[in-house]
């Protein structure tokens, strides 16, 4: 985890040891004005903004080793009852001290594939204590219907991180979601983590610690035989990778890591 955190700092500063950039990297203010004997603060120091990197495996060998691990993919495939597993994408979510909450959402909503199965492995790059804003799950929400979803733009809406999930819960018959829903927090040690069904509602609080960062790596897996869905237009993450005349997922973009 220490190696990954060191590599993350370099990726944020535009250093890619594979020679290729990630699919998304936040604008990052590089500040090299550090007093002698001091190190630069993680993630650039305190900020209200959560940093997101998508497909860091493409730009960094250390992250690639984790994301494309065959043993991890085999575990996911066995858990999902799949014949094989491929990486749909990865996402690093990094909260500097003072960063805002992440709105409760479902992962499956944003993956335009068939079959629609998604399994997310989340790796804690730091030891997660409540004040850092660890991942939180709504117990049993993977069984809910599709009456409510949100857009990716709402991930960082700090006004009410539970607005979407509470609305979804009301559509499931909960009269008072604020008291009726069971929400559990993933207080994992560094190097630990969690795994969840893509239909599970989850989010996280802000990082209220004055000094420590909160960093995590999410890896989204789909069945190895998954293809692009055709019922609706593809989202902007997937549209550039659709090849004319086929719905198959290109292996160089969505690598099958265990069959």
Q: Over the stretch 181-238, which tens digit does the pLDDT of each residue have?
A: 999 999 999 999 999 999 999 999 999 999 999 999 999 999 999 999 999 999 999 9
Tell me if residue 223 falls in helix, strand or coil. strand
What pLDDT was estimated at residue 29?
Answer: 76
CA atoms of 120 and 195, how far apart (whole Å): 6
Give the chain's mean pLDDT: 93
Reported as type and span, the H/E element at residue 103 is: strand 102-105
Alpha helices in the chain (DSSP H): 2-12, 61-67, 70-80, 163-171, 177-180
Q: Which of 83, 53, 55, 90 is nearest to 221 (CA)?
A: 90
CA atoms of 241 and 244, how far apart (whole Å): 10
Residue 151 binned pLDDT confidence (cut-offs 50, 70, 90): low
Q: Over the stretch 133-148, which tens digit does the pLDDT of each residue have?
A: 999 999 999 999 987 7
Domains of the chain by start residue, with CATH: 2-258 (2.60.120.620)
What pLDDT was estimated at residue 165?
Answer: 94
CA atoms of 56 and 152, how far apart (whole Å): 19
Q: Which of 171, 214, 226, 216 is nearest to 191 (CA)?
A: 216
On the question of pLDDT at 99 being above 70, the answer is: yes
Residue 163 tokens, joined: 């607005």
Q: Over the stretch 59-93, which tens digit does the pLDDT of each residue have?
A: 999 999 999 999 999 999 999 999 999 999 999 99
Angle at 20 (CA atoms; ends 16, 22), nearest 5 degrees: 80
Q: Over the stretch 10-48, which tens digit does the pLDDT of each residue have?
A: 999 999 999 999 999 999 876 666 667 677 889 999 999
């Amino acid at each position: 985890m220490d190696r990954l955190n060191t590599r993350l700092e370099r990726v944020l500063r535009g250093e890619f040891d594979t020679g290729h950039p990630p699919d998304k990297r936040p604008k990052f203010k590089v500040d090299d004005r550090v007093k002698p004997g001091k190190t630069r603060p993680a993630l650039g120091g305190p900020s209200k903004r959560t940093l997101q990197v998508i497909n860091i495996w493409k730009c960094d060998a250390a992250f690639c080793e984790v994301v494309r691990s065959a043993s991890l993919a085999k575990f996911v495939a066995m858990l999902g009852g799949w014949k094989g597993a491929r990486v749909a994408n990865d996402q690093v979510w990094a909260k500097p001290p003072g960063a805002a909450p992440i709105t409760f959402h479902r992962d499956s909503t944003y993956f335009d594939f068939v079959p629609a199965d998604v399994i997310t492995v989340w790796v804690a790059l730091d030891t997660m204590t409540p004040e850092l804003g660890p991942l939180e799950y709504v117990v049993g929400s993977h069984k809910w219907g599709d009456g409510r979803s949100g857009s990716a733009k709402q991930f960082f809406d700090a006004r009410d991180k539970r607005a979407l999930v509470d609305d979804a819960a009301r559509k499931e018959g909960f009269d008072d979601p604020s008291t009726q829903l069971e929400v559990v927090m993933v207080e994992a040690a560094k190097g630990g983590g969690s795994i969840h069904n893509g239909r599970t509602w989850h989010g996280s609080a802000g990082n209220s610690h004055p000094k420590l960062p909160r960093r995590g790596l999410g890896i989204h897996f789909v069945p190895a035989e998954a293809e692009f869905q055709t019922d609706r237009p593809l989202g902007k993450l997937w549209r550039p990778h659709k090849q004319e005349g086929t719905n198959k997922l290109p292996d160089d973009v969505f690598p099958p890591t265990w069959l």
